[in-house]
Amino acid sequence: MSKRGYIYLMTNLTRTVVYIGVTSDLNKRVWQHKNHYFPNSFTSKYVVTILVYFEEWPSLRDAIFREKEIKKWRREKKHWLIEQGNKNWEEIVLE
């Protein structure tokens, strides 16, 4: 049985950057972004620490396919996706 996968979108405090990622462990990955676990990464450089959207997929492979699809979208469409479930771009806190 394959691991579940997640795609997620994160932003910075001023909501000027949208980062799209994929993972099999969403809690761990968000923690890594918030704590600048990879100090030379894009998310650390632009202080991308706010989770605003995610989707759960049956497998990591499915999630990777979805991530690649969304990465091709223009900024406006990514904003539209976020706002379908999070109109005010409020931080999603995972348990």
CATH code (residue 22): 3.40.1440.10
- Cα atoms in the 13 Å half-sphere on the side-chain side of 4: 9
- What does pLDDT average to over the chain? 96
Q: Are 47 and 12 in contact (CB under 8 A)?
A: yes
Q: Is residue 91 part of a domain?
A: no
Q: Is residue 54 part of a domain?
A: yes
Give the percent of the chain with pLDDT over 90: 96
Q: Is residue 93 part of a domain?
A: no
37: confidence class by pLDDT, cuts 50, 70, 90: very high
Distance of CA 41 to the CA centre of its chain: 14
Residue 80 exposed, middle or buried by CB count within 10 Å (0-12, 13-18, 19+):
exposed
Token pair belonging to 85: 């479930």
- List, in sequence order, every residue forming a beta bridge with 56; answer none if it has no partner: 6
Q: Is residue 95 part of a domain?
A: no
Q: Is residue 45 part of a domain?
A: yes
Q: Is residue 92 part of a domain?
A: no
Q: Is residue 32 part of a domain?
A: yes
